Amino acid sequence: MANAFIRWFDERVPGLAPVYRKHMTEYYAPKNFNLWYYFGSLALLVLVNQILTGIFLTMNYDPSATGAFDSVQYIMRDVEWGWLIRYMHTTGASLFFVVVFLHMFRGLLYGSYKKPRELVWVLGMLIFLALMAEAFMGYVLPWGNMSFWGAKVITSLFGTVPVIGKGLEQWIVGDYLPADATLNRFFALHVIALPLVLLLLVVLHLAALHEVGSNNPDGVDVKHGPKGNRWDPLKPADAIPFHPYYTVKDLVGVGVFLIVAAFIIFFAPTFGGWFLEHDNSIRANNLVTPAQIKPVWYFTAFYAIVRMVPSFAGTAVWGVIAMFGSIALLFALPWIDVGKVKSIRYRGTGYKVALTVFVISFFSLMLIGMDLTDTLFPKIFGSDIDITTWDNVFGRIMTVAYFGFFVFLWLYTHLGWEKTKPVPERVTTHD
C-alpha cells in the first residue's frame, strides 16, 4: 500500500524521487569516514531540537521586560513538563556549539575547505555567524542579570566604531540602554528571522557539498580513483551510497550523542553554571553588574581577544576589529592555506605544530574569557601574583598565537616551506 502511495505521489510530483535519490541513495560518499564525520549530522539533529523545543517555549514565554523572567519560572514550575522542554533547549544550545566547533575542526584536519569546497566552507562560516547571533539573542530572552549585561556589553561593542558607533548602538538597542524594545526585537529575530536564515543556509550548505562531493580523512579525491563499486559501475570504487550506509552509521552517532545530552539534561542541566549561568537566576538589574560578568562559554575565546587588545587613540574599537578579524580569517582559510595536500595525515610537520598551537591558543583564550585564570594562576604560581598582569601577558601571547596560525599558514603554503608526505592513490580504511 505504501508503494501505491509512492506511485500516486510520483505521478504528480515527479521531481521529488530523483531528488531523494540524488541526495540519499545515489549520493556516493567516501567509505573511510571516521569519528570526525559524525558532527555534521549531529548539528542538524540539534538544529531540529532547538526549533521543536523553541516552538513550545514560545507558547508560554512572555517577551516583555516585565514578564519575561517570571514567564521562564512559570515554564519551569507551572507548565507540565516545561522544565524538560526548557532544559532540552538550553542544553541543545551549548551542545550546538560543541558539535559545530568539532565539525569546523574536522575541516582544519582534513582540508575540507580547500578547492573545490570553498563555497561549502564559506556557507558553513555564515551559518556559524548566524548561529552566534541566534545564541546571543536567545540568551537575552530570559532577561536575567547576565542576559541584560550581556546585551549591554555586546551592543556597546558596536558603540566603539568611530563616528557612527553611538548612533549604531542606540539603533540596535532601540532605547538608551537594553530595555523592553531590545528584548522584543531580539525575540522576533531569535524566534523567526534567524531560524529562517539558518535553515536556508543549511540547505545551501548541503546543496553546495553534494555538488562537489564529500572530502575524507585522507584528503584523496575518490572521483579521481578507479570507477565501479558493487552498487553502480559508474560511481567511484571507494565511495558508498549515503543511504543506507551513512544513515545507519550516523544513527549510532545520534544514540551516543543523545546519551551525553540526556546525562546533562537530567543530571546536570546547569553544567556547574557553565550552560545556565548562576547570575541569570537574578532578575535583570541595570544598577548592579554581576561580579563575574562574562559571556557564555562558547563566546569566551573571541571575547578574550577583545579584552586583550588595548585601547589607544581614544577608542576601544581595535579589540572589536581583532575579534571580528579572528572570525574573518577563518572565512578566508581557503585562500590563506593554498597547500595542495588536504589531509593532516600527509602534510608537513610544520602544519601539525601550527594546528596544535592554534588549538592550545583557542582553549587558552577560552580560559581567559571564562575568568578561570583568575583562580588557576594563583593556584599554580602563588597567591601573591598580580592577576591582571599575568592575564594580559598570557592572553596577549595566546592572541598572537591565534592570529599567528593564519600568518604562518599563509607563509608556509605561499612560499613553499611545506614539505608534504606522498599522498596515497586511494583512500586508506582502518577497520
Determine which residue in the list 1, 4, 5, 77 makes contact with another protein, applying CB under 8 A: 77
Q: Which of 93, 87, 66, 92 is nearest to 75 (CA)?
A: 87
Q: How far is the C-alpha of 232 from the C-alpha of 141, rounded, in Å?
A: 52
- C-alpha cell belonging to residue 145: 542579570
CB atoms within 10 A of CB 327: 14
Query: Residue 7, exposed/middle/buried by CB under 10 A (0-12, 13-18, 19+)?
Result: exposed
Query: Per CB under 8 A, does 73 bind another protein?
Result: yes
Residue with Cβ nearer another protein (244 or 310) = 244
**Least separation in angstroms between CB 388 and another protein:** 14
> What is the x/- site pattern for another protein, positions 167-206, by CB under 8 A?
----------------------------------------
Residue with Cβ nearer another protein (170 or 289) = 289
**Least separation in angstroms between CB 407 and another protein:** 25
Q: How far is the C-alpha of 222 from the C-alpha of 215, rounded, in Å?
A: 8
Stretch that binds another protein, among 7-15, 182-190, 268-276, 321-329 (CB under 8 A): 268-276
- Contacts with another protein in 277-296 (CB under 8 A)? 277-279, 281-282, 291-292
**Least separation in angstroms between CB 164 and another protein:** 36
Residue with Cβ nearer another protein (267 or 312) = 267
DSSP result, 244-287: IIIHHHHHHHHHHHHHHHHHHHHH-TTGGGTSS-GGGGSB--TT
- Contacts with another protein in 83-142 (CB under 8 A)? 83-85, 87
Q: Name the residue with cell 592575564.
A: 391
**Least separation in angstroms between CB 189 and another protein:** 24
Query: Residue 126, exposed/middle/buried by CB under 10 A (0-12, 13-18, 19+)?
Result: middle
**Least separation in angstroms between CB 291 and another protein:** 5
Query: Per CB under 8 A, does 390 bind another protein?
Result: no
Residue 294 gets the label, from left (phi > 0), alpha (psi -120 to 50) or beta, of beta
Query: Per CB under 8 A, does 59 bind another protein?
Result: yes
- Contacts with another protein in 205-264 (CB under 8 A)? 230, 240, 244-245, 248-249, 251-252, 254-256, 258-259, 262-263
**Least separation in angstroms between CB 152 and another protein:** 19
**Inter-helix orientation angle 194-212/39-58, to 10°:** 160
Element (H, E) at 371: none
Q: How far is the C-alpha of 86 from the C-alpha of 99, rounded, in Å?
A: 20
Q: Is 227 helix (H, G, I), strand (E, B) or coil?
A: strand
Determine which residue in the list 6, 13, 21, 78 makes contact with another protein, applying CB under 8 A: 78
Query: Per CB under 8 A, does 151 bind another protein?
Result: no
Q: How far is the C-alpha of 350 from the C-alpha of 409, rounded, in Å?
A: 9
Residues lying near another protein in the complex (CB under 8 A): 31, 34-36, 52, 56, 59-60, 70, 73-74, 76-85, 87, 230, 240, 244-245, 248-249, 251-252, 254-256, 258-259, 262-263, 265-267, 269-270, 272-274, 277-279, 281-282, 291-292, 363, 370, 372, 374-376, 379, 431
